[in-house]
Amino acid sequence: MIWIRLASFFMLSGVALGAMGAHALKKRLTADSLASFETGVMYQIIHALALFVIAWLITQSSDPKVSIAGAVITAGIVLFSGSIYVLALTNIKWVWPLTPLGGIAFMIGWGILLLSQYDKFG
């Protein structure tokens, strides 16, 4: 199932990136950049857990909104956390607009997931 694979990938890479930030990058990044990097890791892991929930919900419901929510949350991880990693590690400024777009994707994904469950439970 795609959602379990994606969730597992994002969890694995999130833990690896978290360890890298805590050890290898601690002396290489400014305090602000390191804090941003850690925020990216935290949001990646939280939303990877959401993908596991989505994988389970798909077994309980045939509502296509559940998969749509998964896709939008996946886009949020790539845009939000990915842009933060690029900014922290390279200081390439043109990626900064992707961060709020990723945050918006997270909110839209959660909203779609809420609607999918509201339809089911009233």
The CATH class for the domain spanning 2-121 reads mainly alpha
Q: Which of 62, 76, 57 is nearest to 114 (CA)?
A: 57
Q: Return the pLDDT at 118.
A: 81
Spatial contact of 44 and 18, defined as CB atoms under 8 Å apart = no
Residue keyed to tokens 């309980």: 60
Residue type, 55: A
Per-residue pLDDT band for 121 (boundaries 50, 70, 90) equals low
Q: Return the pLDDT at 1.
A: 85
Distance CA 108, CA 43 (A): 15
Spatial contact of 75 and 51, defined as CB atoms under 8 Å apart = no
Question: Average pLDDT of 86-111?
Answer: 96
**Burial of 103 per CB tally in 10 Å (0-12, 13-18, 19+):** middle
For the chain, give every domain's residue range. 2-121
Q: Return the pLDDT at 100.
A: 98
Question: Average pLDDT of 102-117?
Answer: 96
Could you tell me the two tokens for 63?
Answer: 């509502």
Percent helix, strand and coil across the chain, each to the nearest 5: 85, 0, 15
Distance CA 58, CA 72 (A): 15
Query: To the nearest whole number, what is the mean pLDDT of the chain?
Result: 95
Tens digits of per-residue pLDDT, 6-56? 999 999 999 999 999 999 999 999 999 999 999 999 999 999 999 999 999
Question: Average pLDDT of 93-101?
Answer: 96
